[in-house]
Amino acid sequence: MLSQITSFINEHQLIKPDDTVILGLSGGPDSVFLLTVLCALRKDGLLKELIAGHLDHQWRQYSAQDVTFCLELAKTYDVKLVSTTLNELPLKNLPKGSKEEQGRIARRFFLSRLAEGHGASSIALAHHRDDQQETFFIRLIRGTSLAGLTSMYPREGQYIRPLLSTKKRDIVTYLDDNRIPYLTDPSNHSDDFLRNRIRMSVIPALHMCDNRFDQSFSRTLSALQETEHFLKQHTRDVFHHIAGKRDGIWSLDCKKFGELHPALQYRVLVMWLCEELVVFPVSQGFFDEMARFMCSVRGGIHAMHPTWSLVKQRGHSFIRKNDLMTQ
């Protein structure tokens, strides 16, 4: 297993010998297994330094016991562990929604700060192949674009997923066979969460329909990701053809934008907003409204968000950020 995972890491250039890596350690089987893998790489000189981070959300009665478990585990593997609580994070105004989403945002904030403080090159997450399948169907059920269906990648920015080709059952078998302790979360078996319902009902049903499901899914996802990669590069080329930058602000040629296919217009708008680092809702109606304003004959100012507006002058549009804008 270690040889296969190491090959996956090398194939996607996730870790280099002089890297410092932050590991998100929850104490569950996936992150504990990844801890053993990264420690093995460190021992072989394929990784310079490993630091574990644990965020205690304090949402469960016995969450402090998880902190103690992770501290003992990190001590056993001679790994520094940094632990904090959600209340101690300088993070305010978490978006409304599920605790699952709030927890994810808080963990990413915590791990990013930890990486910055230790000069780490990467943050390792323990998502595995089963997580990939579940994510695909969650997004399919909720509605998404091609980009959403491509699910997770081995590397996304500073985040790396060394276990993305590893099966969950192989992870648990390895830990049990080697008597390596890990925590179990009772909520993983609750029907209250869509991911659990997919894990317990949808995926087994697909395996019953065809025992080649795993292989077919991997091939399909790989094809989707290749297509998405091509479209991203094409969108970037088109964006630079119709956009120009002056005084640090991008502006788009509205006539050239209007000549694009609607699907390409959508992608160009997403890239534009990301380049300008502005907040925007991910909804088709929002992008339709932007496109209509860009393609209309009238100019002026259109408030698209409380923190920024679209400005159209002399056939070009640019984004004006308000004073209330917070990065």
Domains of the chain: residue spans and CATH: 2-188 (3.40.50.620), 226-321 (3.30.465.60)
Whether pLDDT at 264 is above 60? yes
Query: Which pLDDT belongs to residue 143?
Result: 85
| pLDDT tens figures, 273-298 | 999 988 787 778 889 999 999 999 88
Query: Which pLDDT belongs to residue 97?
Result: 65
The span from the CA of 270 to the CA of 304, in Å, is 14
> Which residues in 112-146 are b (16+ Cβ under 10 Å) and which e?
bbbbeebebbbbbbbbbbbbbbbbbbbbeeeeeee
Whether pLDDT at 132 is above 60? yes
The span from the CA of 9 to the CA of 13, in Å, is 6
Whether pLDDT at 324 is above 50? no
pLDDT above 90 coverage of the chain, percent: 74
- Which residue(s) pair with 321 in the sheet? 308
The span from the CA of 244 to the CA of 316, in Å, is 10
In whole angstroms, how far apart are CA 323 and each of 270, 306, 307? 22, 10, 7
Query: Which pLDDT belongs to residue 96?
Result: 67
Contact 251, 316 (CB under 8 A): yes
Query: Which pLDDT belongs to residue 323?
Result: 55
In the chain, how many H helices and how many E strands?
A: 13, 11
Q: What does the DSSP assignment read for 140-203?
A: HHH---HHHHT---SEETTEE-TTTTS-HHHHHHHHHHTT------GGGG-TTSHHHHIIIIIH
Residue 243 pLDDT class (50, 70, 90 cuts): very high
Residue 52, φ and ψ in degrees, nearest 5: -100, 145
Rg over alpha carbons for the chain, rounded to the nearest Å, is: 23
Contact 276, 286 (CB under 8 A): no
Report the pLDDT averaged over residues 212-229.
Answer: 95
Q: Which residues, 6+ apart, have CB-to-CB distance to 182 below 8 Å? A: 27, 28, 29, 32, 33, 175
The burial of 13, by beta-carbon neighbours within 10 Å (0-12 exposed, 13-18 middle, 19 or more buried), is given as: exposed
The pair of three-digit structure tokens given for residue 312, joined into one six-digit string: 């159209």
The span from the CA of 275 to the CA of 42, in Å, is 36
More confident of the two residues 324 and 38: 38
pLDDT above 70 coverage of the chain, percent: 96
Residue 123 pLDDT class (50, 70, 90 cuts): very high
Query: Which pLDDT belongs to residue 192?
Result: 79
Query: Which pLDDT belongs to residue 222?
Result: 94
| DSSP tag of 88 | G
Residue 302, φ and ψ in degrees, nearest 5: -130, 115
Q: What does the H/E/C string look like for 20-83?
A: EEEEECCCCHHHHHHHHHHHHHHHCCCCCEEEEEEEECCCCCCHHHHHHHHHHHHHHCCCEEEE
Q: Could you count the other beta carbons within 10 Å of the beta carbon of residue 303?
A: 11
| pLDDT tens figures, 43-52 | 999 999 999 9
Contact 28, 182 (CB under 8 A): yes
Length of the chain in residues, anyone?
Answer: 327
Q: How far is CA 273 from its chain centroid?
A: 18
Whether pLDDT at 24 is above 50? yes
Residue 16, φ and ψ in degrees, nearest 5: -115, 160
Query: Which pLDDT belongs to residue 189?
Result: 77
Q: What is the mean pLDDT of the chain?
A: 91
Whether pLDDT at 266 is above 90? yes
Query: Which pLDDT belongs to residue 204?
Result: 96
